[in-house]
Chains A and B, each alone.
Chain A
Amino acid sequence: MSVKNSTTASESALMAGQAAQSPSEYIQSYLKRVTSGDLGSLPIILGLILIAIIFQSQNENFLTARNFVNLIVQMAGVTTIAYGVVFVLLIGEIDLSIGYVSAVAAVTMTLLLREPGGWPWYAALGLALVAVALIGMVQGLIITTFQLPSFVVTLAGLLAWNGVVLIMIGGAGTVIIQDSVIVGIANYFLPAIWGWILALVFVAGYTLTRVRQVIARRNQGLSTTPMLIVVLQIVGLAILSLLAVYVCNHDRGVPFVGIILLVFLVGFSFLATKTPFGRYVYAVGGNKEAARRAGISVQRIQVIVFMISSAMAGMGGIILASRLRSVDTAAGGGNLLLNAIAAAVIGGTSLFGGSGRVSSAVLGALIIMSVENGMGLLGLSSGVKFVITGLVLLLAVLVDAISRRSRTQSGLA
């Protein structure tokens, strides 16, 4: 039984070209995506503009160079933790232990640095991160081996690691960090010239990778983003980063933590979108069985993700400790955990797994921290602050839910 390759009408309808799009087609398809409910990061950017307008009209200190630099330093800890949260949410799990795990890292490092006989900063920092990564591995192994809900296991972790922090600090109450490198993480500002150099290097690197990618695809005869759009994107990015450096240089300069945030953003975005690991993370979050059948070791992916989550929490804890130049028994408490998870969710990462981006951690944290920062400038009470932060979270989830509904209606779930 053999069949000739006769194409039917329905097939030829599928044979739409895959050639390069023209800029107008690209913009049209983008508009179509937006109107059919695939908003991307549009609501967040609009939200940020709205926040800026509201707070600037209430307090003229909001849109100043000083406050901009402050905002970057303030959001650094939460954003770093939120990077890890994005990965956990992507595989459809949750990690409630990150708040106190971050404290465990901070306390471990601080105690190791304590004079006399303190470790060098890199050893202390390295060991602290390895320790929390191991914590993540243990929690991940427990969750995957015994098929327990991650919610419960990490809730147990939340309580246990809080206890561990209290035990480690003991009666000391507050431990001061004296190592200048560690303190510098959150308190060092780059000289103006280095800010400019970094911005230029960043833009140049982005340009190089984008253009190479487009040319490579064009040579293969595959569909590409139109050159005009690519150029516009590059120009836009250049203007934004140079503007940011310009504003920072008007105050104390580009904060070092800002560079750390950027490095993590680029690195994790690459990991999530370009490597097989990232793809497996999405696959596990989308359909565990499909991933397993594809030969992916689901357990390994899950454990690695929990390790990333804990390690990033540890890194965030160290940044927070560096900013305060000390750790105390309240480290990792308060609303740190919920702010980190809220940042990822507000940024657009689904709680049900399989969809979201690393950049959503930055955008979400930017929203939360600018609201908090603005309310701080207005001198509101913490009760009002919590209520408003809660409402912002609710709003973000509502926008996502409504756009998702219109997406299912237009067949683009």
Chain B
Amino acid sequence: MDPLLRVINLSKRFGRLSVLEKVSFEVYPGEVVGLAGRSGAGKSVLAMLLAGLHTPNEGAVYFDEKRLHWPLQSRRFSIEVIHQEPILAENLDIISNIFLGRELGWPKLSHLLKIPNQSQMDVEADRTLGELGVHFPSLYEKVSNLSAEQRQLVAIAQVMTQSARLIVVDEPTVLLSYTYQQRFLSLIQRWQNEGVSVIFSSKNLEHLFAVTDRIITLRKGQIVAVHRTDETSREDIVAEMVGVASPHQITPAIWALDNYYQARQQAEKLRHQQALLERSLVERDNLNQQLVDRLAEQVEALDQANLALQAAQRRLLTEREQERKRLARELHDQVIQDLLSVNYQLEEIGSNGNESPALTAELDDVRISIRQMVGDLRRICGNLRPPTIDSLGLGAALQSYTHDWCERNNIAVSLDLDANLGRLPEAIELSIFRIVQEGLNNIRKHARASAVEIRLKHTSPRTLLISVADNGQGLKAGFDLSALAAEEHYGLLGISERVALLGGRLRLQNQRGGGLLLQVEIPHPRVGVAVDTINL
């Protein structure tokens, strides 16, 4: 195959400074040739010569077997050049720059006067830039308002719209960020697959090794070596770039050059990955946040349901107490009074003395049974609502209740009250009374005890400890509070509910000497401060 480009002994001097000396090489169709070299090695000058920016002093260049002459209009030969710094018409917009010199439109004959098809150019430019992954807000933006990277991308798009046969690329990646660098490298591969030859000069060996077929190393304007890319190594290239005879003599300082570019590359890659990672982290954070939010919502809903339940229970208890109180008052005020007046009437009848003795004895029986009924009703009233609790307080109520209870059941009760018990909020007093009541009930039903000891003590100014201890048989082994409901024993359960509503603690345990100890610890507010807040 004939070479597409033949460069023979090309030399360029600026004044006395020789920047390119007798450079000869060939480029074959579809070949990517890399130019390696340090700054000032002559890579850019070669690109500028092929772009026609400078005229060589000596030598010849043949393109497709035709000799090139300077001043060179390289685009006429389908040679495109991408420079390190893009050369654009700053005062024109993006589209005009991309299609400058080959506007689409009609008629085909007179290019200078043809009417451009602006829409077609818009669509084409958009497609080309899309392939690069660039999207400008407006394609009619002046190029002078773009960033350096965007301008370089416009210059690349300009070349992409041409049907080039040779593309000279001079360090375009300097202005590009990592993503676009990678896209540009794959663009070079695409050109290669389409049969376009590429001369790719770069200081970045990684890029050179990624896409080139051959690498030409330049040093001080001269070609020092030409390698097939797959037959050489970075070490060789670096050694040639800096001019050391053997790779073994490469000093750390020289290695620093290559390492520098590798490190920069790695840093770029890292930065890119970091950006990706940060983005996915942000996404995951968002997801987590959503989950946490939903959880918090549910917990809050649950809390509210609980509060509502507690409130309902509290209301229930309060209502029940109110109901009992009303019932007790009605029994006491109506029924008992009625019975007493009936009794009085009977006595009246009996004291008249004109009745038969048999009738009098019968009447006496009825009066005795009525008195018993009144006694029973009074006890029921006392159970429904300890009559003393409202007027005299918890202590008095407990004393009278236990005294009654002791007489009725023949179980000795010792009551030990805190000396400064004082008055507590009504709800608490009532609860404590009911707790003691339930406790004694339990003892009566299950314990088979002969003595009960009840204590009411302040363990601190704000907590009250109620303990009910008996000398009975205690709890059975394997006792479970939660199983009581299933067996329809509501006594202990009622206690535990009341304690929970008051924010207190309940403890049940067998005593060492036998018998059960029921301990309840209840926090209580100072009377008169928080009475209103507790509503039992």
For the complex formed, measure the closest distance between the CB of A347 and the CB atoms of chain B, giving whole angstroms: 17
A276-B111, A289-B87, A411-B145 given; A222·B122 CB < 8 A: yes
Residues from 275 to 324 in A contacting B, C-beta threshold 8 Å: 275-277, 279-280, 282-283, 285-287, 289-297
Chain A residues within 8 Å of B118, by CB? 217
- Interface digits, B100-139 against A, CB 8 Å rule (1 contact, 0 not)? 1111010000011111101100110010000001111111
Chain B residues within 8 Å of A291, by CB? 89, 100-101
- A308 CA / B134 CA spacing, docked (Å): 40
For B103, give its contact among A2, A223, A279, A413 (CB under 8 Å): A279
Do the beta carbons of B75 and A295 come within 8 Å of each other? yes
- Interface digits, A157-184 against B, CB 8 Å rule (1 contact, 0 not)? 0000000000000000000000000000
Residue B442 interfacial (CB < 8 Å): no
Residue A145 interfacial (CB < 8 Å): no
Residue A412 interfacial (CB < 8 Å): yes
Residue A147 interfacial (CB < 8 Å): no
A275-B113, A295-B73, A296-B100 given; A216·B87 CB < 8 A: no
- A219 CA / B90 CA spacing, docked (Å): 30
For B116, give its contact among A9, A18, A223, A274 (CB under 8 Å): A274
- A9 CA / B283 CA spacing, docked (Å): 13
Do the beta carbons of A217 and B119 come within 8 Å of each other? yes
Do the beta carbons of A413 and B275 come within 8 Å of each other? no
The secondary-structure label for the interface of chain A is loop
With both beta carbons as reference points, the residue of chain B lying nearest to A287 in the complex is identified as B89
For the complex formed, measure the closest distance between the CB of A240 and the CB atoms of chain B, giving whole angstroms: 26
Residue A1 interfacial (CB < 8 Å): yes
Chain B residues within 8 Å of A295, by CB? 73, 75-76, 101-102
- A149 CA / B119 CA spacing, docked (Å): 39
For the complex formed, measure the closest distance between the CB of B419 and the CB atoms of chain A, giving whole angstroms: 75
With both beta carbons as reference points, the residue of chain B lying nearest to A350 in the complex is identified as B91
Do the beta carbons of B122 and A1 come within 8 Å of each other? no
- A285 CA / B136 CA spacing, docked (Å): 25
Residue A335 interfacial (CB < 8 Å): no
Residue A402 interfacial (CB < 8 Å): no
- A413 CA / B142 CA spacing, docked (Å): 9
For the complex formed, measure the closest distance between the CB of B119 and the CB atoms of chain A, giving whole angstroms: 4
A11-B135, A275-B113 given; A283·B186 CB < 8 A: no
Residue B277 interfacial (CB < 8 Å): no
Do the beta carbons of B91 and A293 come within 8 Å of each other? no
- Interface digits, A86-109 against B, CB 8 Å rule (1 contact, 0 not)? 000000000000000000000000
Chain B residues within 8 Å of A5, by CB? 133
Do the beta carbons of B52 and A293 come within 8 Å of each other? yes
A3-B179, A14-B135 given; A293·B92 CB < 8 A: no
Do the beta carbons of A8 and B275 come within 8 Å of each other? yes
Residue A381 interfacial (CB < 8 Å): no
Do the beta carbons of B119 and A279 come within 8 Å of each other? no
Do the beta carbons of A277 and B91 come within 8 Å of each other? no
Chain A residues within 8 Å of B276, by CB? 6, 8
A289-B53, A293-B87, A294-B75 given; A277·B113 CB < 8 A: yes
With both beta carbons as reference points, the residue of chain B lying nearest to A277 in the complex is identified as B112
Chain B residues within 8 Å of A7, by CB? 133
- A396 CA / B135 CA spacing, docked (Å): 38
- A276 CA / B179 CA spacing, docked (Å): 35
- Interface digits, B181-215 against A, CB 8 Å rule (1 contact, 0 not)? 01101100100000000000000000000110000
Residue A46 interfacial (CB < 8 Å): no
For A15, give its contact among B74, B89, B105, B135 (CB under 8 Å): B135
Residues from 1 to 40 in A contacting B, C-beta threshold 8 Å: 1-3, 5-9, 11, 14-16, 18
Do the beta carbons of B100 and A283 come within 8 Å of each other? yes
For the complex formed, measure the closest distance between the CB of B492 and the CB atoms of chain A, giving whole angstroms: 64
Chain A residues within 8 Å of B229, by CB? none
Residue B57 interfacial (CB < 8 Å): no
With both beta carbons as reference points, the residue of chain B lying nearest to A90 in the complex is identified as B91
- A6 CA / B273 CA spacing, docked (Å): 12
Chain B residues within 8 Å of A282, by CB? 89, 91-92, 96
Do the beta carbons of A222 and B123 come within 8 Å of each other? yes
Chain A interface category by residue count:
35 or more
Chain A residues within 8 Å of B89, by CB? 282-283, 286-287, 290-291, 294, 354
Residue A355 interfacial (CB < 8 Å): yes
- A18 CA / B140 CA spacing, docked (Å): 11
- A274 CA / B113 CA spacing, docked (Å): 9
Chain A residues within 8 Å of B90, by CB? 286-287, 354
Residue B522 interfacial (CB < 8 Å): no
- A2 CA / B183 CA spacing, docked (Å): 8
For the complex formed, measure the closest distance between the CB of B130 and the CB atoms of chain A, giving whole angstroms: 10
For the complex formed, measure the closest distance between the CB of A91 and the CB atoms of chain B, giving whole angstroms: 11
With both beta carbons as reference points, the residue of chain B lying nearest to A412 in the complex is identified as B145
For A292, give its contact among B52, B91, B183 (CB under 8 Å): B52
- A288 CA / B438 CA spacing, docked (Å): 106
With both beta carbons as reference points, the residue of chain B lying nearest to A291 in the complex is identified as B89
Residue B279 interfacial (CB < 8 Å): yes
- Interface digits, B159-180 against A, CB 8 Å rule (1 contact, 0 not)? 0000000000000000000010
Chain A residues within 8 Å of B81, by CB? 293
Chain B residues within 8 Å of A6, by CB? 179, 276
With both beta carbons as reference points, the residue of chain A lying nearest to B279 in the complex is identified as A9
- A44 CA / B214 CA spacing, docked (Å): 61
Chain A residues within 8 Å of B88, by CB? 287, 290
Residues from 381 to 413 in A contacting B, C-beta threshold 8 Å: 411-413
- A189 CA / B406 CA spacing, docked (Å): 136
For the complex formed, measure the closest distance between the CB of B109 and the CB atoms of chain A, giving whole angstroms: 13
Do the beta carbons of B73 and A216 come within 8 Å of each other? no
For the complex formed, measure the closest distance between the CB of A413 and the CB atoms of chain B, giving whole angstroms: 5
For B144, give its contact among A3, A8, A280, A413 (CB under 8 Å): A413
Chain B residues within 8 Å of A276, by CB? 103, 105, 111-114, 116
Interface centre among B92, B142, B183 (most CB of A within 10 A): B92
For A275, give its contact among B114, B133, B183 (CB under 8 Å): B114
- A285 CA / B118 CA spacing, docked (Å): 22
Residue B51 interfacial (CB < 8 Å): yes
With both beta carbons as reference points, the residue of chain A lying nearest to B141 in the complex is identified as A412
For A354, give its contact among B91, B101, B119, B126 (CB under 8 Å): B91
Chain A residues within 8 Å of B91, by CB? 282-283, 285-287, 354-355
A279-B103, A295-B76, A296-B100 given; A220·B112 CB < 8 A: no
- Interface digits, A215-240 against B, CB 8 Å rule (1 contact, 0 not)? 01100101100000000000000000
Chain A residues within 8 Å of B144, by CB? 413
Chain B residues within 8 Å of A274, by CB? 115-116
Chain B residues within 8 Å of A3, by CB? 179, 182-183, 185-186
- A18 CA / B134 CA spacing, docked (Å): 13
- Interface digits, B280-293 against A, CB 8 Å rule (1 contact, 0 not)? 00000000000000
Do the beta carbons of A8 and B179 come within 8 Å of each other? yes
- A401 CA / B179 CA spacing, docked (Å): 40
With both beta carbons as reference points, the residue of chain B lying nearest to A222 in the complex is identified as B122
- A275 CA / B117 CA spacing, docked (Å): 10
For the complex formed, measure the closest distance between the CB of B186 and the CB atoms of chain A, giving whole angstroms: 6
- A202 CA / B154 CA spacing, docked (Å): 39
What are 23 inter-chain pairs, A to B, with CB distance below 8 A? A1-B185, A1-B210, A3-B185, A14-B135, A15-B135, A18-B139, A216-B119, A222-B123, A223-B138, A275-B113, A276-B105, A279-B96, A279-B100, A282-B91, A286-B91, A290-B100, A293-B87, A296-B100, A296-B101, A297-B73, A354-B89, A355-B91, A413-B142
Interface residues of A (CB under 8 A from B): 1-3, 5-9, 11, 14-16, 18, 216-217, 220, 222-223, 271, 274-277, 279-280, 282-283, 285-287, 289-297, 354-355, 411-413
4 closest cross-chain pairs (CB), A and B: A294-B101, A286-B91, A3-B182, A354-B91
A286-B92, A289-B87, A291-B89 are known; give 6 further A-B pairs, CB within 8 A.
A1-B210, A217-B118, A222-B122, A276-B111, A280-B112, A282-B92
Interface residues of B (CB under 8 A from A): 51-53, 73-76, 81, 87-92, 96-97, 100-103, 105, 111-116, 118-119, 122-123, 126, 133-139, 142, 144-145, 158, 179, 182-183, 185-186, 189, 210-211, 275-276, 279
